Amino acid sequence: MTIKGLRRAVAVVAWMMLTLNAFGQLPAYVMAPADATPKPGFGSLSRYTVTSESLGADIVVDVWLPEGYGSSEAVRYPVIYAQDGQNLFDPDYTFAGVAWELDQTCDRLYASGDIDIQPIIVGINNRGSEGLRPSDYFPEKSLEYIPESEMPYTHIYTTCGGAFLGDEYARFVAEELKPMIDALYRTNPAPSRTFAMGSSMGALASLYLMCEYPETFGGAACLSTHWIGSLDLNPDYSMNDDEVCATAILDYLRDALPSAGSHRLYLDQGTTGWDASYLVYEAEARRIARAHGYSESEGSLLIYDAKGAGHNEWFWQQRVDRPLRFLLSFRNSALSDVIFDNAADCRRVYDLNGNVFSLDAMVSLPSGIYIVNGRKVWHR
């Protein structure tokens, strides 16, 4: 067995260590040298160190481009902003040798016709090695929903060490990182083509991005959402409930979840280990989503119960095709796809999938609705 194969085998049985690492409680991810870049199995990947004014820190960001990127200037790509970027592509960069394998899954789904276009994936590396992952990922405005009388009964203040940076992190992604990505790559910048994705506390951060920036993010994929918020462990590494914090998060969600008419939401949970502790709160989150108009039949909601699944990257790898298929299949989408062209050159034309054409080329385009200089036009 190769060293990489041995590491993969160890990872499957080391889920508890992997979970602890994901919360930044152990001295976790060993970052590669600055000149080293993860190696995906498909497509290409570039690594950036992005200085964030909001966070006052340098954040490592990996940008994955699918096979065929660059072959046509007419194609504009949807973008997924994924939390815990260390775990997405190359098993050599993860704690226990298991990656989500987003590159392989996207390639397979596109080849089978399950998704209409492969995305650009922006993997935002967490700051677990600095103990700041909970601080960055916790939905900060949820604190406003904790009554003063209940504060002694939640562990969130201990978990985050008193440093709550969820607003700053969301601002970094939405206002600093996204404009950079849109400037560097041929993205489709429309909200209906811009998504956030994550697991556990990364799922909380992804949902928070959509709630705080609904005009920027048109969808969120939340796997094994850590509704409890805090992390209070027993000697056997089982996790204690935190009803105060979970209630605050859900109360925030009840007030802040954006309209289903222009957003998509994916929610899933496993049923064993830490995931079993979330189930009662997951059920309430699903009720909140439906009360806001999110619907499976209308394509704005997808829920999934991963029976027998626990809380680590291996389990998320096994089902990440579901949120990708949900977010990246646009054929039956009723969402608004209007792209506004603010460039000085107004001779560019967009179709409702974000593809770009010359105004002169419209004579050869099929009939349909197009966007010209920020206005919808019907081309016969």
Give the model confidence (pLDDT) of 272-320 as tens digits: 999 999 999 999 999 999 999 999 999 999 999 999 999 999 999 999 9
Query: Is residue 337 pLDDT above 70, yes or no?
Result: no
Give CA–CA dist 380/370, Å, rounded.
10
Average pLDDT of the segment spanning 159-181: 97
Query: Per-residue confidence at 368, pLDDT binned at 50, 70, 90?
Result: low
153 & 183 share domain: yes
Report the number of distinct structural domains present in the chain.
2
Q: How high is the pLDDT of residue 37?
A: 84
Structure-model confidence comparison of residues 356 and 25, the more confident one: 356
Query: Is residue 376 pLDDT above 60, yes or no?
Result: no
Phi-psi map region of 32: left, alpha, beta (phi>0 left; psi -120 to 50 alpha): beta
Stretch among 53-62, 68-77, 129-138 having the lowest mean pLDDT: 68-77
Q: How high is the pLDDT of residue 334?
A: 41
Buried b (16+ CB within 10 A) or exposed e, 309-323: bbbbbbbbbebbbbb
Average pLDDT of the segment spanning 68-80: 88
User: Is residue 121 packed enough to be buried (19+ CB in 10 Å), middle (13-18) or exposed (0-12)?
Assistant: buried
CA 60 to chain centre: 16
Report percent pLDDT > 90 for the chain. 71
209 & 294 share domain: yes
295 & 316 share domain: yes
349 & 270 share domain: no
Query: Is residue 28 pLDDT above 90, yes or no?
Result: no
Average pLDDT of the segment spanning 101-126: 95
Q: How high is the pLDDT of residue 370?
A: 67
177 & 213 share domain: yes
The structure's pTM equals 0.82
124 & 262 share domain: yes
Three-state SS string across the chain, please? CCHHHHHHHHHHHCHHHHHHHHCCCCCCCCCCCCCCCCCCCCCEEEEEEEEECCCCEEEEEEEEECCCCCCCCCCCECEEEEECHHHCCCHHHCCCCCCCCHHHHHHHHHHCCCCCCCCEEEEECCCHHHCCHHHHHCCHHHHHHCCHHHHHHCCHHHHCCCCCCHHHHHHHHHHHHHHHHHHHCCECCCHHHEEEEEECHHHHHHHHHHHHCCCCCCEEEEECCCCCCCCCECCCCCECCCHHHHHHHHHHHHHHCCCHHHCEEEEEEECCCHHHHHHHHHHHHHHHHHHCCCCCCCCCEEEEEECCCCCCHHHHHHHCHHHHHHHHCCCCCCCCCCCCCCCCCCCEEEECCCCEEEHHHHHHCCCEEEEECCEEEEEC
Domain carrying residue 358: 343-380
202 & 290 share domain: yes
Average pLDDT of the segment spanning 167-175: 98
Q: How high is the pLDDT of residue 362?
A: 53
368 & 221 share domain: no
Average pLDDT of the segment spanning 126-139: 96
253 & 305 share domain: yes
Q: How high is the pLDDT of residue 16?
A: 44
Query: Is residue 253 pLDDT above 90, yes or no?
Result: yes
277 & 366 share domain: no
The per-residue pLDDT of the chain, averaged, comes to 85
162 & 70 share domain: yes
Q: How high is the pLDDT of residue 25?
A: 40
CATH number at residue 69: 3.40.50.1820
Structure-model confidence comparison of residues 24 and 38, the more confident one: 38
302 & 357 share domain: no
